[in-house]
Amino acid sequence: MAASLQQETTILPYIPPRTSSHRRQSSSGTAFLPEDLNIVPAGPSSSPNRPKSMSANKRMSGTATSTTTTTTTAAAGQQALNGVGSSGNKFNAGAEFQAALAASGNNNNERDPKRVSQPISSPPRDSSLLRTSRPKSLSSPFEGKEKLVLEGNGPFEPPRNFGDKFIDGKVPTWTAEKEGILMGPYDYLYGHPGKDIRAQLIAAFNVWLKVPDSSLAIITKVVGMLHTASLLVDDVEDSSLLRRGNPVAHSIFGTAQTINSANYVYFLALQQLTALPHANFAIQIFTEELLMLHRGQGMDLFWRDTLTCPSEDDYLEMVSNKTGGLFRLAIKLMQAESPVADRIDCVPLVSTIGLLFQILDDLLNLSSPTYTQRKGLCEDLTEGKFSFPVIHAIRADPSNRVLINILRQKTTDEEVKKYAVSYMERMGSFSYTRKVLGVLEQKALSLVREGEMLVGGEEGRRGAEKIKGILGMLKAL
């Protein structure tokens, strides 16, 4: 039965996709045949069980056997499709085509019955479209083997020194242009400076510590780099819109590029410390204080994201780590480089200033018109942040969940934020915050007087005056 079916099988002519450039008209309808390929069409079939396709491999081998036979067969196929024989007699066209097909060895009796049913995936290709070549010398695992080559492009052979300049590290490839790309977000924020309180604080304390100018320049630069880079990250983590009255960096450069720039600057700052005379000690200080900074920031974010109101002690610990970290970093680096560091320890004073600075910032965020212009109205409420006045208001009446719910919404509605501010005023939170600031200011002034006495003389007095000037500047914000 199978043999009978095989003998009755007739191969249909290959008909390429219909395109206007290959359209041919005949008395029986429209036929299609590409003119640039040697196609071997088959004759008509009389069997209802004929397969729908033929073997592409068989078709290709038929093409390679004889160019003359293929061309003749293709011509006969073209004439058959047009319904015209070589003599011009329409009734002989089919017979002539079958004869040409048999002469080319492409009749259906010679085909592999196992491959007859395979679908045609593409028209037969002219073998002249591809060529093989053997390069004169090969130094790859493919030596001695023929390789597929595109016309006109030469062999796919990499140069012998491929990647050498990147492997041995002798050729510097990093350019100023690439550096500028990475530093873009940082340079943008650096170009809109703030009051630069940290640099002024370093200069004031140096009256007491007498750090050499070369070391002082490095320390001042490192602290400024760390501060600016940390602001880039803060703005991303807080979803801020403005910084110093301008759009935040990540709204211009994108979040990913901004974070990468900030992290890059952290390591540039670390690299700067290697130039200090006491570099090992400086790197240890740097590592410890950056760990503290990230611990403080991490807790601040956790409270915000889980809507957990911290205690005052938890808050003060967070501020001491987060805000106080950079102040301590500066003073500890200065003391490590100071030739007179043994006469005074400035860390307690600068830690107090750090607490004072952050709590004052919390108050101004919710009450200062100037702050509103720089960062927006009550931005801490939009962030859902548990700032010092907010913590007091919530703990003053835990049964009233109005403020908690406002923080949960992270609202941008100015009327809602104004209502939250009025609620905190009624709870006495702003008044309490101002009293706390007064207590911290007195502690700081007491430590300044103590430092003045320890240093003594004109240096002690001048240093004290400069530090008091910093405290006065904070108070006037």
My answer on whether 255 and 314 are in the same domain is yes
The percent of residues above 90 in pLDDT, for the chain, comes to: 58
Residue after which a domain boundary falls, among 112, 140, 173: 173
Q: Is the pLDDT of residue 13 over 60?
A: no
149, β-bridge pairs? 131
Domain limits for position 36: 2-127
Phi and psi at residue 131, in whole multiples of 5°?
-140, 160
The domain tally of the chain equals 3
Asked if pLDDT for residue 34 goes beyond 90, the answer is: no
pLDDT bracket for residue 195 (50, 70, 90): confident
Span 251-286, pLDDT tens digits = 999 999 999 999 999 999 999 999 999 999 999 999
**One-letter identity of residue 471:** L
- State the DSSP string of 344-412: ---HHHHHHHHHHHHHHHHHHHHH-HHHHHHH-TTHHHHHT---HHHHHHHHH-TT--HHHHHHHHT--
Cα–Cα distance measured from residue 77 to residue 101, given in angstroms and rounded to the nearest whole number: 9
Residues 94, 153: one domain?
Answer: no
Residues 353 and 470: their CA atoms lie apart, in Å, by: 9
Contact 380, 390 (CB under 8 A): yes
Tell me: do 105 and 188 sit in the same domain.
Answer: no
Same domain, 118 and 53: yes
State both tokens at 280.
Answer: 């090992």
15 Cβ contact list (under 8 Å, min separation 6):
31, 32, 33, 41
C-alpha pair distances (Å), 178 with each of 170, 175, 226, 267:
18, 5, 21, 17
pLDDT band for position 377 (50/70/90)?
Answer: confident
Quick: pLDDT tens for 86-122: 444 544 555 555 555 555 554 444 445 454 445 555 5
pTM of the model: 0.67
Both 53 and 107 in one domain: the answer is yes
Handedness of CA 104, 106, 108, 113 (dihedral sign): positive
Q: Assess whether 154 and 235 both reside in one domain.
A: no
Summarised one tens digit per residue, pLDDT across range 284-318 is: 999 999 999 999 999 999 999 999 999 999 999 99
Same domain, 218 and 349: yes
Contact 277, 213 (CB under 8 A): no
Q: How confident is the model at residue 18 (pLDDT cuts 50, 70, 90)?
A: low
Report residue 159's pLDDT band, with 50, 70 and 90 as the boundaries. confident
pLDDT tens, residue by residue, 207-220: 999 999 999 999 99
Average pLDDT for 406-430: 96
Q: Please indicate, yes or no, whether residues 325 and 268 belong to a single structural domain of this protein.
A: yes
> For residue 337, what is the domain's CATH number?
1.10.600.10
Give the model confidence (pLDDT) of 438-466 as tens digits.
999 999 999 999 999 999 999 999 999 99
- Does one domain contain both 118 and 145? no
| 85 compared with 197, residue with greater pLDDT | 197
388 and 287 both lie in a single domain: yes
Residues 16, 165, single domain; the answer is no
- 40 with 63, same domain? yes
